[in-house]
Structure 1
Amino acid sequence: MSELQREFRDALGSFATGVTIATTVATHGAPVGVTASSFNSVSLDPPLVLWSLAKNSQSREAFSNSGHFAVHVLAASQRELSDRFARSGADKFEGVEWLRGKLGSPVFPEFAARFECRTRHEYEGGDHIILVGEVVEFEAREVAPLLFLAGRYARHQPDSDTTAESEDILNEALSLERALETVVEGRLGEAELAETRRLMQRIIELARGASS
């Protein structure tokens, strides 16, 4: 890689993206998948999306010949899955739960969003091919997505309204803990009081996690 190419890659890294795993099947029916951050929307009518794959990828033939693919927008909790499918030369699906989707592509049960697509176009794109798919099935969930920025994973930051609401929950939980201790002190047995405190501490931990 030349110095100019490296600088160009770094400049592109300034654009934060989600992280996806695209899947399909090989000619003999084996599941195929690869991590990609090149996913993008194209059209609402008809519903089209695109992503790109390196021409030297071992998965290229499968994606070019299958006629379909699925794209999983990963949740923030799926970093390990992203790393697994970014590697080559291993059985990426070993130990991973998946099913056959509507068109036959492997689909995972966990995701932030999932799009099952029929391949409509394949274009030349320099050292990549660009795959355009017509979405035939999709689903989205209210979970934080996995993000990628400047060559590394990035953290999703909730908006200010969500943060303020989480802080209110935390303050209310702390107040409730103090109030409960005042009420139950001397009225519950030692075991019951310990369990009440444990439950309140758990509520506080959850509230703190939501506000961080």
Structure 2
Amino acid sequence: MTDKVTAFKQALGNYPTGVTVVTAYSDVNEPIGLTVNSFASVSIDPLLILWSLDKKSQLHPLFSNTDKFAVNILANDQTHLCTVFSSKIPDRFAQVKWSNSLHGLPILHDTLATLQCETYKKIDAGDHTIFIGHILEIDNAQKEPLLYHRRHIGQIPTSFYE
């Protein structure tokens, strides 16, 4: 690994992010999902968000063929969801509580927020694909976020809010 790649990984690994699980249905109507921390807002008008996926991921071809997806933003008590959806467990959805939404998307229960999106654009970006979603529906809960920092997941210490 080059010095620049190492420095890049160190810098971004030290940048705390929220944790999400992106879900959709495959072209054979099976629920698919994975843990994602490469999530960001893009635009207010129209309401757009983005996330990215490594082209080497086994789920890359499945997400590439979807026309809508949901971003489930995890709450600080949902470490289990993060772990399940970042694992190689074959049937991740059998391990968690979820339901089908009115927009026809698999939605995880009790998250901090859920953004249901139609795919607005897919952008080839090096070894990743950037998925931009146009938001169809937003569900919010009054919860604290789950965070990812230096390869660890956890919550914001309560002293942070004081």
- Higher-RCO chain (CA-CA 8 Å, sequence separation at least 6): 2
Higher strand fraction: Structure 1 or Structure 2? 2
- Give the 4+ runs in structure 1 shifted more than 3 A: 1-4
Shift of 1:3: 4.7
Q: Is the CA contact (8 Å cut-off) linking 1:102 and 1:137 kept in structure 2? A: no
Contact kept? 2:98, 2:107, Cα under 8 Å: yes
What corresponds to 2:83 in structure 1?
83
Matches within 5 A, 1:38-187: 38-88=38-88, 90-158=90-158, 163=162
Q: Quick one: which amino acid aligns to residue 124 of structure 1?
A: D
C-alpha distance in 1 between matches for 2:30 and 2:6 = 35
Contact preservation (8 Å) 1:23, 1:31: yes
Q: Considering only CA atoms, is the larger Rg found in Structure 1 or Structure 2?
A: 1
Which of the two has greater helix per residue? 1
The SS at the match of 2:95 is coil
Q: Quick one: percent identity of the two aligned structures?
A: 35
Distance 1:89 1:125 in 2: 28
Name structure 2 gaps, 5 residues minimum. Answer: none
Provide the C-alpha distance between the structure 1 equivalents of 2:104 and 2:64, rounded to a whole number of angstroms.
15
Question: How far apart, CA to CA, are the structure 1 residues paired with 2:68 and 2:156?
Answer: 31
Give the total of aligned pairs.
162
Q: CA offset at residue 7 of structure 1?
A: 2.6
- Report the Cα offset of residue 102 of structure 1: 3.0
- 1:79-109 Cα offsets, whole Å, 9 max, x none, are 0110110012521111322111233220012
Secondary structure, aligned partner of 1:93: helix
Structure 1 counterpart SS, 2:122: strand
Q: Is contact 2:84–2:95 with CA below 8 Å preserved after alignment?
A: no
One-letter code aligned to 2:63: F
Scaled by the length of structure 1, the TM-score of the pair is 0.72
